[in-house]
């Protein structure tokens, strides 16, 4: 199970065999003076002859909520997987802060929290047990593990369910548990792949408010194919289609996101 979890959350190098992960850098090491937290240069991912992400150039600012918008198969998950370290690029460069995410992936992973589209939560584990396990897996120092779990449990209102088995939780609580595991090491960058999938309207509203609370302290990069969701949650939006970046806009400068989207796609 540990290796499975490490892989699922992008904590195991795709070609490597080292399940442990991050240096769990301290907050002082974490924060960068640069407003740019992520920079992709001609970032490309090919699967055989198929190009899933094509020469992507993009900069994401520290503390913003940034959305990747595009139809199914446009390359959103591929990009998130490259950032998380789950997959390696075929070409191009990727920097997290000042660090090269490919050559210094070990230290970069400690700065990333990843919630995959269908996050495996190990349905027979209790929430607290799962979060303790993930905190250790993410390299949180043993002496800090208990506090880290309490912090995220409070932040995501999980205290009442810490003793529940994850398999018996509602979809909303499962989503929050998945978010908690991604935040337990206090990462700079939080990756959310289609976070509203499967949530009911009330849960979507709750999630939106959680994301708003997280911004500033964390940079949130989320993928979505729902225009209205992106307009309500993100500050900037990138449109992807067939692995290509078609444009980036501030939501506040784009009164009609739908028109812009249609004009590009």
Q: What is the contact surface with ligand ATP in residues (CB under 6 A)?
A: 47, 50, 52, 70, 72-78, 225
Least Å distance, CB 79 to ligand ATP, is 7
In terms of Cα–Cα distance, which of 94, 102, 23, 71 is closest to 227? 71
* 3-state SS assignment for residue 222: strand
Least Å distance, CB 68 to ligand ATP, is 8
> What tokens does 215 get?
């911004």
* 3-state SS assignment for residue 47: strand
Least Å distance, CB 262 to ligand ATP, is 18
**Judged by CB, which is closer to ligand ATP: 74, or 166?**
74
**Rounded Cα gap, residues 117 and 110, in angstroms:** 20
**Judged by CB, which is closer to ligand ATP: 7, or 225?**
225
**Judged by CB, which is closer to ligand ATP: 144, or 242?**
242
User: 69: part of which helix (H) or strand (E)?
Assistant: strand 65-69
**Judged by CB, which is closer to ligand ATP: 76, or 138?**
76
**Rounded Cα gap, residues 110 and 192, in angstroms:** 16
Least Å distance, CB 242 to ligand ATP, is 8
């Amino acid at each position: 199970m540990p290796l499975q979890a490490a892989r699922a959350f992008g904590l195991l190098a795709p070609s490597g065999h080292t399940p442990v992960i991050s240096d769990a850098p301290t907050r002082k090491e974490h924060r960068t003076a640069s407003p740019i937290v992520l920079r992709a240069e001609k970032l490309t991912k090919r699967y055989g002859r198929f190009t899933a992400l094509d020469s992507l150039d993009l900069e994401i600012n520290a503390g913003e909520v940034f959305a990747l918008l595009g139809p199914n198969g446009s390359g959103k998950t591929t990009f998130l997987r490259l950032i998380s370290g789950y997959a390696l690029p075929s070409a191009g460069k990727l920097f997290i802060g000042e660090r090269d995410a490919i050559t210094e992936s070990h230290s970069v992973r400690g700065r990333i929290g990843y919630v995959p589209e269908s996050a495996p939560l190990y349905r027979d584990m209790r929430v607290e047990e799962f979060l303790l396990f993930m905190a250790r897996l993410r390299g949180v120092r043993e002496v800090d593990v208990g506090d880290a779990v309490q912090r995220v449990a409070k932040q995501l209102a999980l205290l009442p369910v810490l003793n529940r088995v994850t398999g018996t939780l509602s979809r909303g609580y499962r989503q929050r548990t998945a978010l908690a595991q991604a935040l337990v090491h206090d990462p700079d960058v939080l990756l959310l792949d289609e976070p509203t999938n499967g949530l009911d309207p009330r849960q979507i509203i709750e999630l939106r408010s959680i994301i708003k609370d997280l911004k500033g302290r964390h940079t949130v990069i989320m993928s979505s194919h729902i225009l209205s969701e992106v307009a309500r949650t993100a500050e900037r939006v990138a449109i992807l289609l067939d692995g290509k970046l078609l444009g980036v806009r501030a939501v506040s400068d784009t009164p009609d996101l739908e028109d812009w989207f249609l004009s590009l796609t």
